[in-house]
């Protein structure tokens, strides 16, 4: 191939272009480094070394120098919120919402974060206003979920139901069991104000929403019991067995009272014994023991307790057995030893008789349908902590998340 001389002219041209490109790149890097103050890099280093307080101070210096660092402001507000300094997070997010230079998407994000700040600070009316302002924006689903949490905090159950329906329209998943509990909460308020007919309507709504909602069935039974419709109450409670039998201890005392009102004590004892056998529970056992004592006497109640505790040993059961055994005993040395034994067991069982959330581990002496720790519904089963350790059961037939 013949070598053409004009190629020689391209060599210095190409070399010159490459040299100029390299110079421009270096100038661009230097320019960028010049735009970023040293405080920014100090803040990053503090974050990497897990020194958030110093990082915040450094980033505050950056924020005061360069007001165009939108993402930096979001990160700074997030640090404030994590540190519990909600008032400072609010100021940062409020500043962002008033900036004209930011994009609509960033302004919506700032408004949403501001609503979260207000919610965490307990300023619920301002939080509600912020979330409502995001209707029709790309943040509408996230804002709607926060509104649902807000209405649960306010116990505004009618608004919570409407918000749950809105979330479902947005394509978000809201468990039917949670919505059924909103209806149950409304019913409980009507029961407290003696508006029983209105309560029944809400409980029927709950069962229509979630046919497996055992709480609605138990509350319907309570209403019938209050109205002296004892047969209907018993029927309603026994029907709850098909939904989730582990909740029967909640109605044990009233169930026995209903059988007593009907003069059907033996039928009541048989029903309670069946439940204690199929669904062991110390609470049901105590109701059964009391029923047997009232009907057949203390000795029969003691023998029942002893049989049940031997079949399913537990410290809670042993404590009640010793209590029965010590009744009417002469105060001799042997009885004093038994009293000491029971005293030691009783101290130990105080922590074993608590209810425990199966989601977060929260424990309490009282039973809650919604866990105060994690806000999950149906995560606490009405069985004592010791029973759950020995005989684990699920609070829900079909687990779901809140």
Q: Is 184 annotated as a binding residue?
A: no
Q: Is 276 annotated as a binding residue?
A: no
Q: For residue 357, give the 3-state DSSP assignment.
A: strand
Do 385 and 356 form a contact (C-beta atoms < 8 A)?
yes
Residue with tokens 């203390």: 298
Q: What whole-number distance in Å separates Cα of residue 124 and Cα of residue 112? A: 14
Burial 199-212 (b: 16+ CB within 10 A, else e): bbebbebbbebbeb
CA proximity to 320, closest of 287, 280, 354: 287
Q: For residue 292, give the 3-state DSSP assignment.
A: helix
Q: Is 357 annotated as a binding residue?
A: yes
CA dihedral 264, 267, 268, 274 (to 10 degrees): 180
- 377 has which bridge partners? 370
Do 218 and 237 form a contact (C-beta atoms < 8 A)?
yes
Q: What whole-number distance in Å separates Cα of residue 338 and Cα of residue 326? A: 8
Rounded alpha-carbon distances, angstroms, from residue 261 to 148, 229, 254, 276, 290: 43, 10, 10, 22, 16
Binding residues for Fe cation: 357, 360, 371, 374
Binding residues: 357, 360, 371, 374
């Amino acid at each position: 191939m013949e070598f053409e001389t004009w190629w020689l002219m391209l060599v210095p041209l190409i070399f010159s272009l490459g040299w100029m490109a390299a110079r421009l790149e270096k100038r661009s890097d230097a320019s960028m480094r010049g735009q970023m103050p040293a405080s920014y890099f100090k803040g990053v280093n503090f974050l990497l070394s897990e020194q958030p307080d110093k990082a915040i101070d450094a980033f505050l210096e950056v924020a005061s120098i360069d007001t165009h660092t939108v993402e930096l402001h979001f990160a700074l507000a997030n640090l404030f919120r994590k540190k519990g300094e909600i008032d400072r997070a609010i100021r940062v997010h409020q500043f962002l919402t008033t900036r004209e230079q930011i994009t609509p998407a960033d302004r919506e994000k700032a408004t949403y974060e501001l609503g979260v700040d207000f919610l965490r600070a307990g300023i619920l009316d301002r939080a509600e206003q912020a979330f409502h302002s995001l209707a029709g924006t790309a943040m509408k689903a996230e804002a709607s979920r926060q509104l649902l949490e807000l209405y649960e905090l306010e116990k505004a159950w009618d608004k919570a139901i409407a918000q749950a329906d809105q979330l479902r329209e947005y394509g978000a998943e809201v468990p039917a069991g949670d919505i059924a509990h909103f209806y149950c909460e409304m019913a409980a308020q009507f029961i407290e104000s003696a508006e029983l007919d209105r309560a029944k309507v809400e409980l029927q709504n709950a069962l229509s929403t979630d046919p497996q909602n055992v709480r609605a069935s138990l509350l319907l039974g309570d209403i019938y019991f209050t109205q002296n419709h004892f047969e209907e109450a018993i029927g309603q409670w026994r029907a709850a067995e098909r939904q989730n039998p582990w909740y029967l201890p909640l109605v044990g005392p009233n169930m026995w009272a209903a059988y007593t009102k009907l003069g059907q004590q033996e039928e009541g004892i048989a029903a309670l014994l069946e439940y204690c056998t199929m669904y062991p529970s110390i609470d049901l056992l105590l109701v059964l023991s009391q029923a047997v004592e009232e009907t057949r006497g203390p000795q029969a109640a003691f023998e029942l307790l002893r049989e049940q505790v031997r079949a399913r040993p537990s410290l809670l059961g042993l404590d009640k057995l010793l209590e029965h055994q010590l009744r009417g005993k002469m105060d001799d040395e042997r009885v004093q030893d038994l009293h000491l034994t029971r005293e030691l067991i009783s101290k130990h069982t105080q922590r074993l008789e608590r209810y425990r959330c199966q989601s977060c581990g929260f424990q309490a002496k009282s039973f809650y349908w919604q866990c105060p720790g994690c806000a999950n519904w149906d995560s606490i089963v009405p069985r004592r902590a010791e029973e759950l350790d020995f005989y684990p059961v699920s609070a829900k037939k079909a687990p779901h998340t809140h």
